[in-house]
Amino acid sequence: MTVEQQFRYLYKPAVFAASLVPAALLVCGALGWFGQDLGADPVAKLLHSCGKTGLNFLLLTLLVTPLRRLTGWNNLVRLRRMLGLFAFFYIVAHFSVYLVLDRQLDMHSIVQDIAKRPYITIGFAALLLMVPLAITSTNRMMRRLGRRWQKLHRLIYLIVILGVWHYWWQVKKDIRQPALYVGMVAVLLGIRLAYYLRSRARQARSVTSKSAPATAQERT
C-alpha cells in the first residue's frame, strides 16, 4: 500500500472518526444515552464544550505545518484541511447553541447580550472570518484562486487570536485555561514567524550570492 493509499484509506478515516467523538459524546449527553451527563446546566455545558473543541481544532490545524517540518512527514498536510473544517463545524455548533438554546432566537435579547458582553462580538467576528476559508477549502477553489488561496487562508492566524481572546474575556475568575491557550498560540505563531524570518534570510543570502559574481565581472 502506497503512502497516498494509507492516508486515503487509513489515516484520514481514522482522524475523521476521532474528530466526531466530541460531537457524539455531546449528543449522547443531551439524549441521556450511555450514562453521559451534561450536568446541572446542559446548555452551558454544550456551549462551552463546542467552543473549546472548535478552538482545539484550530490549534491542531496550526500544529500541522511545524510538525511536518519537524518530522519530515510531508503527508501530514493532507490532514490539515479536514482539521480546519472540523474547527469550523464545532464553532458553528457553538454559535448555534448560543442562538437557539441559550437565547432562543430572541433577537432583542441577543442584541442586548452583545452590547453587554463584547466578547460575543469578537467570537462572531472569528466565525465570519472562517466562512470564506470553509467555502474555499475544495481542490477546485484552490486551483481557481491560485496564490490568492494561500493569502486568504492566512486569516487563520487572526481567527485563532480572536478565538483565544473570546475565550479569555468570557472567563471571570480562573484564567488558567485561557492563559494556557494564549501560551500555545504564542508558541505556534512564534514558530511560524521564526520559519518565515529564516526563509527571508535564506532568500536574501541567495540574492546576494547571485549578484556577487556579476559585480565582480563588471569590475573586471
Sign of the Cα torsion 112, 113, 117, 123 reads: negative
- Which residue is listed with cell 498536510? 77
Say which residues have a Cβ less than 8 Å from residue 98's Cβ, sequence separation at least 6: 47, 120
| Mean pLDDT split into 10-residue runs, the chain, 220 residues | 82 94 92 81 94 97 92 87 96 96 90 86 94 94 92 95 94 88 95 89 79 58
pTM: 0.89
Please give the C-alpha separations between residue 115 and each of 19, 108, 118, in angstroms, as whole numbers. 34, 11, 6
Q: Which pLDDT score, from 0 to 100, does residue 215 have?
A: 57
Spans of all domains in the chain: 3-175
Sign of the Cα torsion 72, 74, 80, 83 reads: negative
Q: Which pLDDT score, from 0 to 100, does residue 212 have?
A: 60
